């Protein structure tokens, strides 16, 4: 088993006398910045002047430019979006780097694929929460923390791993435990999970049930809209992927564990998954992603248009308005909201 580390394995005093810059106050930035502040770490926040900057000011931060925050800090947490990071590093952070600095990433993407070539004089580490940004903050306040994958890509100082653990403790992750990994492994697992066609399977389930005469509203409530699946996911988190089935009825156990296997081709599914992994490893995915960006996200726009035209999305909008989850005057997805 890979090494796990917890609070007692991490020395928060390594951050004493150092300034930590949170670069980007978005999904991960806000939670990590607030957690570190509560842990007594000297934190500065750098962000462009956008909606996230407004949130940072509302949270009480004396917001700085990315350049100023990076220049003032010894430890820089790169928490802007993946696609923006090469430009941010090259034009806003790189010029202020000095020997002994630490750069920490929440995702291994740009280091693994060589989109960022870090200054050889600095430490490059990764603390990758296995948690959404809101959960990073919520679980910290609850006192239980969240797991992360950690790794060292460059150890110029000789103490990169202890510093990586100190950062992990500062954001609250060693409370639950951090697992030693690698930039490559984190990227492979993260992208693989994001390539699963679960949303399209859900759409197909909806279509099949409606074709069978079920009402769209009843189908959506049962498949996802009631929130029952959230509790089922919590059982998986707390008990285990299969062990949670013991919390269900015998009928459900027979259906999920026995009857469903006649509709599942494991070898064919594995073949597809191995193909996904091969496309991540050989760079096919990142090349396609770059091409998509060069086309101004044309394929993403087309897929949004296709999904917004689907009956599930239209019916869902009406249901969520009825349930009070969306304003009555909000246009349906894909309609002009001006």
Residues with a catalytic annotation lie at 107
- Beta strand pairing status for 75-78 and 19-23? parallel
CB-based contact 89:78 (threshold 8 Å) = yes
For residue 296, report the phi and psi dihedrals to the nearest 5 degrees. 60, 40
Cβ-count burial 49-67 (b if 16+ within 10 Å, e if not): eeebbebbeeeebebbebe
Q: Give per-residue burial for 179-215: e unless 16+ CB within 10 Å, then b.
A: bbbbbbbbbbbbbeeeeeeeeeeebeebeebbeeeee
Q: Residue 146 is encoded by which pair of tokens?
A: 């969240």
d(CA 77, CA 201): 37
Q: 3-class SS at 325?
A: coil
Contact 34, 59 (CB under 8 A): yes
Length of the chain counted residue by residue: 338
- Closest by CA to 19, choosing from 57, 94, 70, 84, is 70
HEC string for 259-301: HHHHHCCHHHHHHHHHHHHHHHHCCHHHHHHHHHHHCCCHHHH
């Amino acid at each position: 088993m890979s090494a796990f580390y917890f609070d007692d394995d991490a020395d928060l005093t390594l951050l004493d006398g150092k300034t930590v810059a949170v670069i980007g106050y978005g999904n991960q930035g806000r939670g990590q910045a607030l957690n570190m502040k509560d842990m007594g770490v000297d934190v500065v926040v750098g962000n462009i002047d956008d909606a996230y900057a407004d949130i940072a000011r509302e949270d009480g931060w004396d917001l700085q430019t990315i350049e100023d925050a990076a220049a003032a800090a010894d430890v820089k947490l790169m928490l802007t979006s993946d696609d923006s990071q090469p430009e941010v590093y090259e034009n806003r952070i790189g010029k202020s780097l000095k020997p002994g600095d630490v750069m920490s990433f929440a995702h291994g993407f740009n280091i693994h694929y060589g989109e960022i070539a870090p200054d050889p004089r600095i430490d490059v580490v990764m603390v990758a929460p296995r948690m959404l940004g809101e959960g990073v903050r919520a679980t910290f306040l609850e006192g239980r923390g969240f797991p992360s994958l950690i790794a060292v890509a460059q150890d110029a100082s000789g103490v990169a791993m202890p510093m990586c653990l100190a950062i992990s403790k500062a954001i609250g992750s060693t409370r639950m435990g951090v697992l030693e990994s690698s930039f490559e492994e984190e990227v492979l697992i993260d992208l693989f999970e994001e390539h699963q066609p679960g949303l399209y399977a859900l759409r197909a389930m909806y279509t099949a049930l409606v074709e069978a005469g079920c009402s769209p509203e009843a189908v959506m409530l049962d498949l996802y809209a009631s929130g029952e699946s959230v509790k089922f996911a919590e059982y998986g988190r707390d008990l285990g992927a299969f062990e949670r089935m013991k919390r269900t009825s015998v009928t459900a156990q027979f259906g999920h564990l026995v009857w469903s296997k006649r509709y599942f081709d494991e070898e064919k599914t594995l073949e597809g998954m191995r193909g996904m992994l091969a496309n991540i490893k050989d760079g096919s995915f990142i090349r396609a992603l770059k091409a998509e960006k060069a086309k101004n996200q044309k394929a993403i726009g087309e897929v949004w248009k296709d999904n917004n035209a689907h009956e599930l999305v239209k019916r869902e909008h009406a249901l969520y308005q009825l349930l009070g989850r969306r304003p009555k005057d909000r246009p349906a997805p894909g309609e002009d909201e001006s």
